[in-house]
Chains A and B, each alone.
Chain A
Amino acid sequence: MKKKRVRILLVGIFLMTVAVAFVYLTTRSAAPTGVVQVISGEKTAEVCLSDLDLRSVQGTISNAKGDITAVDALGIPLEKLLADIGITEYTTVSIISDDAYHADLSAAELHGEREVYLVAEGEQARLIVFGDANSKRNVSHVVRIDVV
């Protein structure tokens, strides 16, 4: 009996995974490649990287092991990107990748504490935060920016 219960539990978890995957994949909002969705309260804007006035971004970032990587890409300061679409007042900005990984940035960091850029990486967008001790917040394949 106990053996049967465990089998039912294991099959149940598998079926639950399939159901959750179905719900998630059918309800998630997928942005087209190269487009970043910016959501601020009721306001939603779609920003196409290729339409932006990108400039050269150069510097170095460090990972948790202390390895230094050079960054040489075209990008735009995140603060400027938000200002260009009329978002100037906020406390926190969440940068979300395609696989739902996210990094949070405070308004103070965007206003000068850190150099924060959204750079083009192929057809995708990538967040670069200069000055962090590790590269955890350098989110690749950015698809959404939530502004609070």
Chain B
Amino acid sequence: MKNNRLKRIIFFALCCDFGLFAKRLIAPLTNMITDALHIPGGIATSFSLMFLVIAAILMPGGFCSTIMSAAQSVIAFSFGMVGSMGLLAPIGYIVPGFAIDLVLMATAGGALPCADRMALANGIAAASAAFTANCIVFHLRGIVLLLYVCTAFSSGIFCGLLGSKIVQRLAPVFRAEVKYSFKTRKGKEELSI
């Protein structure tokens, strides 16, 4: 196996794991905010989705996030981390992953800078995760649902911008070896942040 391919796979697996376990690490801190807002969460998920967005930007090939989120759902099942979603947990993982891919594909040809694309992808993925969790578990209505989704979206935007800073640092490591999955129409590399 070529060295660069191995490096990519290791990074891919690391982002999968970081995404899955980062939520647990940051949950005590984010729960302080969501408790104050009286909503059932949303911020920790945005942070965990940041790793999927980072990997989707740096990895070649389409549907990277969808594959990663499917892998995450398998890992979560094997560790018994299904939460209150139970058997429907894979939907909760795959929907935001698919949303990330869709947003990154939709904005691939445009003139949007990488940071904005990541913020948008992370925000929409977090909002879709919140909406999915609401359909499966919480069944919130009215203004609480609006606040829950908006909080997820806003924190997703913040995490997306944070992720773009990480990508900025990681880009030189992958620049020499990775053909970027999304290129602009002019053929310029996407990662020129």
Taking Cβ atoms with an 8 Å cutoff, the residues of A that contact B are: 2-3, 6-7, 10, 13-14, 16-17, 20-21, 23-25, 27-28, 64-65, 98-102, 134, 136
Contacts and interface: CB of A to CB of B under 8 A. Distances in A.
B84 A99 contact: no
A107 B39 CA distance: 28
B123 interface: yes
Interface residues of B, number: 34
Interface class of chain B by DSSP: helix
Contact of A101 (B83, B138, B146): B138
Given A13-B153, A14-B154, A24 B144 contact: yes
Nearest to A100: B144
B120 interface: yes
Given A13-B153, A20-B150, A64-B85, A2 B37 contact: no
B110 interface: yes
Nearest to B83: A64
A100 B140 contact: yes
A25 B120 contact: no
Contacts of A98: 38
Interface string B19-40: 0000000000000001101111
B143 A23 contact: yes
B173 interface: no
B164 interface: no
A3 B111 contact: yes
B35 to A, nearest CB: 7
27 contacts: A2-B111, A6-B112, A7-B116, A10-B116, A10-B119, A13-B157, A14-B157, A20-B143, A20-B146, A21-B147, A24-B143, A25-B37, A25-B38, A27-B143, A28-B38, A64-B83, A64-B84, A65-B82, A65-B86, A99-B34, A99-B35, A100-B39, A100-B144, A101-B40, A101-B139, A136-B84, A136-B137
